[in-house]
Amino acid sequence: MISQLVAKKAKRNTRVNILGVGVDDVFLEQAVDEVFKLAKPPSRGKYVVTVNPEFVMLAHRNAKFAQILAKSDLATADGVGVASARLIMGGKVHGRITGVNLIENVCQMASDKPIRIGFLGGFGSVAGEVAKRQTQKYPGLKVVFAKPGEPTISHDLRLKKEFDSVGRVDVLFVAYGMGKQEFWIDRMRDKLDIGLYIGVGGAFDYIAGKKFRAPVVLQKLGLEWFWRLILDPLRIWRMRVLPVFAILVFGDFVKKKFS
């Protein structure tokens, strides 16, 4: 079933299958253009996922999560592991598209358009700080929602009332973290007047200045993951799946190459 969804999506975009998870073979500029197409009124309930190796491995363990990823309207490669795997499995595009990339570029492009933007997630006042910084950077940006929210079902009704009070949101960036944000989007996307949801993980912290991205040279070398590990050693628990991901990708490549 999941492989059929990946194949169906590939008819619309060039989507590369990485261990059963489809990732679109697109440049950043193409991804941003697609965001505006998907968010255009009266579109509702579309969503973008930013896939890293942890996403792929979680999809292996959780069929529901795998289905959510497969039904996404755009899946970008967030993480050097997924970007490299995409090339190995036949993709053409080099590089990755992070949540920070999407926020910055979408907000810049939206600043001179009648696009209503929202920021949901993060801790405390982080969403508000992101909204403040983006509107200062792009004065024409129309931010209509910026709150931490809560991804639990018990909070859904209250959050729905808050969204209903501001009216339509064309693009909502959701920063609840891997898994939580995708399950929340899947649960709420038909209940709110939101054109497009984009899951961006921990991107709010970097834009708000709560955390600092790796130096550009490390980003270009694909070592941003190492920088994050140095700053937050507890990430090693999440990153333990990376060697397994690499082995599985190599095995799948060999199988397809010589079958």
Separation of alpha carbons 250 and 234, rounded Å? 27
Rounded mean pLDDT, 89-99: 93
Q: Is the distance from CB of 188 to CB of 32 less than 8 angstroms?
A: no
What is residue 10's predicted lDDT score, i.e. its pLDDT? 43
Question: Is the pLDDT assigned to residue 4 strictly greater than 60?
Answer: no
Question: Is the model more confident about 258 or about 171?
Answer: 171
Q: Per-residue pLDDT for 137 more than 90?
A: yes
**Helix (H/G/I), strand (E/B), else coil: 258:** helix
The amino acid that residue 55 corresponds to is F
More confident residue, 218 or 143: 143
The more confidently predicted of residues 216 and 43 is 43
- Which has the minimum average pLDDT: 34-43, 135-144, 204-213? 204-213
Per-residue confidence (pLDDT) for residue 11, from 0 to 100? 45
Give me the mean pLDDT over the 213-228 stretch: 64
- Going by DSSP bridges, is the β-strand pair 142-147/116-121 parallel, antiparallel, or unpaired? parallel
- The kind and range of the H/E element at 126 are helix 126-137
Per residue in 173-209, pLDDT (tens digit) is 999 999 999 999 999 999 999 999 999 999 999 999 8
Distances (CA, A) of 151 to 117, 148, 154, 176, 233: 19, 10, 9, 7, 25
Q: pLDDT band at 257, cuts 50/70/90?
A: confident
In contact, 6 and 49? CB cutoff 8 Å:
no
Give the bridge partners for 75, in sequence order: 49
Neighbouring C-alpha atoms within 13 Å toward the C-beta of 17 = 15
Whole-angstrom Cα distance, residue 228 to residue 235? 8
The DSSP-derived string for 223-255 is -HHHHHHHH-GGGHHHHTTHHHHHHHHHHHHHH
Q: What angle do CA 98, 205, 216 make, to 5 degrees?
A: 50
Q: How far apart are CA 54 and CA 46, in angstroms?
A: 23
Among 46-55, 123-132, 209-218, whose mean pLDDT is lowest? Answer: 209-218
Report d(CA 21, CA 186) in Å as an integer: 17
72-81 pLDDT, tens digit per residue, is 999 999 988 9
